[in-house]
Structure 1
Amino acid sequence: MLRDLLPHLPVVLAVARRNGFAAAAAELGMSPSAVSHAVRAVELRLGTPLFARTTRSVALTEAGTALLGAIAPAMRDIEDALERQGSAAGRIGGVLRINAPRIALPLAITPILAALARRHPELVVEVIADDALTDIVAAGFDAGVRLGEMIAQDMVAVRLTPPFRTALVASPEYLAARGEPKTIAELSQHNCIGYRLLASGAAYAWELREGGKDVAVDVAGSARVTDALHARELALAGIGIAYLFVPLAAAELDAGRLREVLPAHAIEEPGLFLYFPRRAAEAPKLRAFIEAVRDILP
Structure 2
Amino acid sequence: MGSNITTLAIGYGLPVHLVDVDRPTLDQARARIARQLRHAHLLGALPADQPAGELVTSTSVAGAEGATAVLEAVTELPDVKRKVLAEVAAVVPPGTPLVSNTSGIPIDELAEELPCPEQLVGTHFMNPTYLIKMVELVRGPRTSDAAVAAVESLLGALDRTPVVVRDDPGFVTSRLLHPMINQAARIVERGTATVDAVDTLMQGCLGHPTGPLRTADLIGLDNLVDSLAALYERTGEQSCRPCDLLLEKVASGDLGRKTGQGFYDYGEVLS
Query: Structures share a fold, TM > 0.5?
Result: no
Q: Kindly name which structure, 1 or 2, has the bigger radius of gyration based on alpha carbons.
A: 1
TM range (shorter): under 0.3
| Superposition TM-score, scaled by structure 2 size | 0.24
Higher RCO by CA contacts (8 Å cutoff, separation 6 or greater): 1
Q: Which has the higher strand share?
A: 1
